[in-house]
Structure formats: structure tokens, C-alpha cells
């Protein structure tokens, strides 16, 4: 068993999978060789067969359904402090998050949590083939998980543990989903609890032995989840969540040109609102927090401090959670979309 775990944790499986996918390190004599200053000490990478260019940032994303899963995953990284696969022999296709630790893969966790919670939440509510939904969820989980090995950011063990942890969390929490949803919508203390808990989780993130994007990204996700919980409460209290007229399961709506047009319009308007809201809220929050901390908003090193980074990101993304799930739908309703 120890030999198997050692193999799964080692870089050789990752490197072998990359070679099977067509990734090859460039030789020193190759005139097409490219070296990135920020990737000093790592093997140069050929762009042949690679869907990404080095240095392209990744996004953890901030979906409410994955907020708890992502927090557990990110904090586990900074508690366990297992390094990412070394290069060489692994080829690194991303550099932004290379300073973070690797165990478990939060991408694999999110790719398990989001599609499978969506499947569990809709399988008894809408009429569609369960097998098709399961295939869709499995496909997303497998493709995203393999992509983390392909990009050289995780070992096989990182990915498998991420999937296993999420499967356990979803299984344990599933019986309580309805009770949690009812509490979020109807309890008068729900907004205060959501905002307080998300802030406490963010500010008490495990102490970093070196700065990385982990704490800030985790704050973004958790605070957006708190804001989404507040938006859920607002929508219900203001009568914006309509009770169904009949019992489920419901027929899936037909995909018509009119429906597609409305979807595109809603998406475009929502993106524009969230984009400008983020710019405005972030500027105000950063200036306010930096003034309280006695530092300059333009000081990039000061923005990495705990009591600057966490509060300004918390304010920004908790507000965006409300904007995205309360303000945007209100605008859509006003425009009859």
C-alpha cells in the first residue's frame, strides 16, 4: 500500500501522462525554445499540443454551492503543505498558483461538487433522464481532474483525494440541504450568521509560511457564498421567490430561439452589472481598508497583509454575491427577461 501511495504521489505518473498527451520539454538546442523569467528553474515548455500558454492565470471561480468545499480544500493545502509536482520531470503550464501547495486538488473538488450537487438537486425536480445527468456530471469531473494532471499542477493522489473528500462531504450534507435552504430563506438571523461566519472563516485562514494567492482566493469564494446566502434571504423576504403552483417533477422548458435570446440577454446584462459593480466596490473597499490600516492602496506588498487583503476582498465579494443573486435578477424582472 505504501508503494502504491508513493507512486500516486510521485511526479513520474504526471510526467508520463503529459508525454502521452504530446507534451515535450524543449531541448536546449531548439531555436524555438521559450523561457519565462518567472519560471526560472523549471523546464521550458513547447506550445505544441498545449491548450494553454505559460503564465495564463487560473480562476478558482466563486459559486455558492462550492464555497464550503473550496474552503476545506484550500485550508487543507496550507495545513498539510504538500508541494506540487517538481519540474523536471513535470512540465508546468501555469505559474500564478505554483506557490500554493498541492494536496488536495481544489479544481477536482469543485469539479465534483458543482455537477453532482446540481444533479442531486434537480433529479427529482425536473423530468430528464437520470443517466444523461450522471454522464454529464462524470464527464465534467473527469475532464477537469485530468486537466490538473495535464497542466502539471497536481499529482494523481492530489486529484483522487480531492474527489474522495468532496464525495464524502456531499454524501454527509445531502440529507440537510432542505433544512439549510429553509433556514437561509426564512430565519431573520440568517444574513447576519452568513456574513459573520464567512468573515471569521476568512480571517482565521491557516497562517501562511509564505504568501500565495490561496488566502485571497479563498476569501473571494467564501465571502461570495455569504453574499449569495444574504441574497437568497432578500429574495424570499421580498416575495421574489415564487412558490410553485404544482408538485414536482416539472417538464423541462423547450429550447426555442426566444428562450435562447432571453438567456443571452440575461447573461450579458448580468455580466455588465457585475463587472462595473466589482470595479466600483473594489475601489471603495480597498481605499477604506487601506486608510484604516494606514497604508497606501497602491502598495502591492501592503495589500498582501492579513488585515488588508482579507477585509477588502471580503467586502468586495460579499457585496458581489448580493449583486449577482439579488440585484441582477431584479433588473431582469424589471426588463421582463
Q: Where are the domains of the chain?
A: 2-182
Q: Which of 16, 154, 210, 332 is catalytic?
A: 154
Burial 209-241 (b: 16+ CB within 10 A, else e): eeebbbbbbbbbbbbbbbbbbbbbbbbbeeeee
Q: Which of 16, 107, 210, 332 is catalytic?
A: 107
Spatial contact of 178 and 36, defined as CB atoms under 8 Å apart: no
Spatial contact of 162 and 109, defined as CB atoms under 8 Å apart: yes
Measure the CA–CA gap between 280 and 222, rounded to whole angstroms. 20
Measure the CA–CA gap between 321 and 234, rounded to whole angstroms. 12
pLDDT (tens digit, 0 to 9) for every residue of the chain, 337 residues total?
Answer: 888 888 888 889 999 999 988 888 765 444 433 443 333 333 333 333 333 333 333 333 334 446 888 889 989 998 888 889 988 888 888 877 777 888 999 999 999 999 999 999 999 888 999 999 999 999 999 999 999 999 988 999 999 999 999 999 999 999 998 898 899 999 999 999 999 999 999 999 988 778 888 889 899 999 999 999 999 999 999 888 877 778 888 888 888 999 999 999 999 999 999 999 999 999 999 999 999 999 998 888 888 899 999 999 999 999 999 999 999 999 999 998 8
Selection from 168, 151, 199 nearest residue 69 by Cα: 168
Active site annotation includes 154: yes
pTM of the complete model: 0.80
CATH of domain 2-182: 1.20.144
Amino acid at each position: 500500500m505504501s508503494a502504491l501511495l508513493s507512486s500516486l504521489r510521485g511526479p513520474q505518473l504526471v510526467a508520463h501522462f503529459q508525454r502521452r498527451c504530446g507534451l515535450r520539454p524543449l531541448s536546449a538546442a531548439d531555436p524555438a525554445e521559450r523561457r519565462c523569467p518567472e519560471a526560472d528553474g523549471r523546464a521550458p515548455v513547447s506550445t505544441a499540443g498545449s491548450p494553454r500558454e505559460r503564465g495564463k492565470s487560473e480562476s478558482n471561480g466563486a459559486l455558492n454551492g462550492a464555497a464550503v468545499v473550496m474552503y476545506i480544500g484550500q485550508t487543507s493545502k496550507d495545513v498539510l503543505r504538500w508541494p506540487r509536482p517538481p519540474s523536471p520531470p513535470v512540465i508546468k503550464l501555469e505559474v500564478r498558483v505554483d506557490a500554493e501547495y498541492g494536496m488536495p486538488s481544489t479544481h477536482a473538488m469543485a469539479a465534483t461538487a458543482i455537477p453532482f450537487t446540481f444533479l442531486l438537486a434537480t433529479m427529482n425536480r425536473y423530468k430528464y433522464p437520470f443517466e444523461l445527468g450522471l454522464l454529464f456530471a462524470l464527464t465534467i469531473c473527469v475532464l477537469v481532474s485530468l486537466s490538473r494532471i495535464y497542466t502539471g499542477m497536481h499529482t494523481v493522489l492530489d486529484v483522487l483525494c480531492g474527489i474522495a473528500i468532496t464525495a464524502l462531504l456531499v454524501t454527509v450534507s445531502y440529507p440537510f440541504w432542505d433544512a439549510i435552504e429553509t433556514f437561509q430563506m426564512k430565519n431573520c438571523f440568517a444574513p447576519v450568521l452568513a456574513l459573520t461566519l464567512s468573515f471569521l472563516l476568512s480571517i482565521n485562514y491557516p497562517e501562511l509560511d509564505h504568501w500565495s494567492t490561496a488566502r485571497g482566493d479563498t476569501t473571494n469564494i467564501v465571502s461570495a457564498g455569504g453574499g449569495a446566502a444574504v441574497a437568497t434571504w432578500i429574495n424570499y423576504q421580498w416575495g421574489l421567490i415564487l412558490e410553485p403552483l404544482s408538485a414536482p417533477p416539472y417538464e423541462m422548458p423547450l429550447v426555442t430561439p426566444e428562450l435562447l435570446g432571453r438567456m443571452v440577454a440575461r447573461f450579458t446584462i448580468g455580466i455588465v452589472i457585475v463587472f462595473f459593480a466589482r470595479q466600483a466596490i473594489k475601489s471603495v473597499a480597498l481605499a477604506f481598508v487601506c486608510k484604516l490600516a494606514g497604508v497606501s492602496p497602491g502598495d502591492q506588498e501592503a495589500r498582501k497583509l492579513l488585515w488588508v487583503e482579507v477585509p477588502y476582498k471580503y467586502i468586495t465579494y460579499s457585496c458581489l454575491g448580493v449583486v449577482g443573486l439579488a440585484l441582477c435578477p431584479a433588473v431582469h424582472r424589471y426588463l421582463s427577461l
